[in-house]
Structure 1
């Protein structure tokens, strides 16, 4: 995931869409997102002058701090998304043997070397007549994603 730059702006809110809003600042319109909890802590309204700090993303600014005259500043923490709903990546050492054992225990025959990512391994595998499958297995040995293997990524012969 690319690192996004931190930005600070001061301007006027022009439109509000639940927890997102547009901000006129520095001669441009910016889309900003407080998140649902941030919108509970800081009420938004068109015409309100604000100063904010946040992380510029390709589509919006994820606001981490917002303030206006007469109100205490509000700091907002945005949780990072998980790989899948309900998935909790394991903290701890990455052990390829745990990952391979989890795949075998679930009936998968692994091929090649697993590819380590920051919070999981990607494993090329076959089971029954399913065809080549890419498994995503966290460090605790939980298979949380299965998808057809990309032939180019895994150098599979057609």
Structure 2
């Protein structure tokens, strides 16, 4: 989100909606402000109260960082940033690879080499007793949905050179 400007204004609280409220200014504007749940716990929002606020102007409201009123101590409010997961996290990172390995072993496969994680599956080099080496594409539940014999893998590698 782009940096929003910090503004200061004075007015009278017209309406209170939990931690949000409207401020009526001298020029007749009605402005929505957000104190945040924790801010509302430490500053009493009351209809008709004359206040001064400072905060960050957002498209829909002012995110209040300081609020004061006559006869009340000024309150500073810190709005914590939301903790979003990294966009780089794939569903495969949340899957227990051991579950997938156990499912393959139960089907008679032995894993050879490194397991490669892909966004929607694992690529695993494996073989069954007596069978040739194969590349398996395995979904997160351990089901094999694609199997390439080692001969095809060698051809693919030779074509890439």
Q: Is TM (by shorter chain) over 0.5?
A: yes
Which residue matches 1:13? 13
Q: Unaligned 5+ residue runs, structure 1? A: 90-101, 110-124, 131-158
How far did residue 59 of structure 1 move?
1.2
Which residue matches 1:3? 3
CA displacement 1:92-150 (0-9 Å, x = unmatched): xxxxxxxxxx79x96523xxxxxxxxxxxxxxx452588xxxxxxxxxxxxxxxxxxxx
TM-score w.r.t. length of structure 1? 0.56
C-alpha distance in structure 1 between counterparts of 2:117 and 2:7, whole Å:
47
Aligned residue pairs total 101
How far did residue 5 of structure 1 move?
0.7
C-alpha distance in structure 2 between counterparts of 1:5 and 1:28, whole Å:
18
C-alpha RMSD of the superposition? 2.8
Which residue matches 2:45? 44
C-alpha distance in structure 1 between counterparts of 2:117 and 2:31, whole Å:
48
Runs ≥4 residues deviating over 3 A: none
Q: Which aligned pairs between 1:84-99 and structure 2 lie closer than 5 A?
A: 84=85
Which residue matches 1:56? 57
CA gap 1:55/1:129 in 2 versus in 1, 3 angstroms:
farther
Tell me which structure has the larger Cα radius of gyration. 2
C-alpha distance in structure 1 between counterparts of 2:30 and 2:66, whole Å:
18
Which residue matches 2:24? 24
User: SS in structure 2 opposite 1:72?
Assistant: strand
Q: Unaligned 5+ residue runs, structure 2? A: 87-92, 98-115, 122-136, 140-161
How far did residue 11 of structure 1 move?
0.3
Structure holding more helix per residue = 2
Which residue matches 1:108? 117
TM-score w.r.t. length of structure 2? 0.55
User: SS in structure 1 opposite 2:3?
Assistant: coil
